[in-house]
């Protein structure tokens, strides 16, 4: 057997799904042991879950691809990942499958269980070119979305700033891995960040989560993160 993440594109028969919560979510799509699903070929082995711009009743903001894969929403009668929703679609948050740091991070955008969330659009893979303490560095859009400050009395993400604008960091919405990464870059609370520009992605980095795209037996498309895809084991079929 092999995991769905390691499997090649094509028809895949599920043998086992680890984790009761994931199994219950996938069952809504008819995805359960014994069923055959289709793993969709991606354009590149560097394809990742895109960052998305969303809106809640509290504010608009950006979510990195990794977080959007951990937010499960009720959309048109089925529960799916937020990353799977098409642009302009609205769903109701049913479950936040990440840990405490992830829950706290999305709470800054007003994303909570029972609340409506609207996907405005998916963002192209971009890097924020910023200057911190005289050094120029590049930060992926997913990571930049974790950096928060206050401008004119309101919370603002680094992703909301254009070239020439600056932000004093007040909070980094992430766990220890994120904090350690930003520390290496010299970005920490009280750091001043000046945005010099936003450019097409040059390299993979933190905030870039590999995605697996599948089609259910009923033909519905679903995006899963690497972790969830490794929990699904089975065999390729012809």
Model confidence pLDDT, tens digit, residues 73-104: 999 888 888 988 999 999 999 988 877 888 88
pLDDT at 189: 92
Domain boundary among 80, 107, 122: 122
pLDDT score of 219 more than 90: no
CB atoms near residue 147 (< 10 Å) = 26
* For residues 202-228, average pLDDT: 74
C-alpha R_g of the chain: 18
* For residues 67-76, average pLDDT: 89
User: Does some domain include residue 155?
Assistant: yes
Same domain for 133 and 118, yes or no, is no
Give percent of the chain above pLDDT 70: 94
The residue segments making up the domain with residue 33 are 2-45+210-236
CB atoms near residue 186 (< 10 Å) = 13
Which comes out higher in pLDDT, residue 216 or 231? 231
pTM recorded for the entire structure: 0.73
User: How many domains is the chain partitioned into structurally?
Assistant: 3
Same domain for 71 and 23, yes or no, is no
User: Does some domain include residue 205?
Assistant: no
pLDDT score of 17 more than 90: yes
Domain boundary among 69, 92, 122: 122
Same domain for 143 and 195, yes or no, is yes
- Average pLDDT, whole number, for the chain? 88
Same domain for 65 and 93, yes or no, is yes
């Amino acid at each position: 057997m092999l995991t769905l993440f390691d499997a090649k594109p094509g028809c895949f028969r599920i043998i086992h799904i680890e984790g009761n919560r994931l199994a219950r979510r996938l069952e809504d799509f008819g995805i359960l042991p014994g069923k055959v699903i289709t793993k969709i070929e991606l354009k590149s082995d560097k394809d990742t879950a895109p960052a998305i711009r969303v809106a809640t009743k509290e504010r608009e903001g950006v979510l990195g691809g990794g977080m959007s894969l951990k937010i499960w929403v009720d959309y048109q009668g089925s529960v799916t990942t937020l990353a799977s929703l098409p642009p302009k679609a609205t769903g109701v948050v049913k479950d936040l499958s990440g840990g405490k740091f992830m829950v706290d991070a999305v709470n800054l955008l007003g994303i909570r269980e029972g609340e409506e969330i609207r996907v405005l659009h998916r963002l192209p893979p971009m890097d924020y070119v910023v200057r911190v303490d005289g050094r120029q560095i590049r930060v992926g859009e997913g990571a930049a979305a974790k950096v928060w400050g206050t401008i004119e009395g309101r919370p603002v993400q680094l992703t909301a700033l254009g070239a020439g604008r600056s932000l004093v960091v007040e909070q980094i919405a992430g766990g220890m891995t994120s904090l350690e990464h930003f520390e290496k870059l010299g970005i920490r609370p009280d750091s001043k960040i000046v945005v010099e520009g936003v450019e097409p992605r040059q390299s993979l980095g933190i905030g870039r989560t590999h995605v697996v795209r599948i089609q259910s037996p009923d033909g519905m498309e679903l995006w899963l993160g690497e972790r969830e895809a490794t929990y699904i084991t089975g065999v390729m079929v012809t």
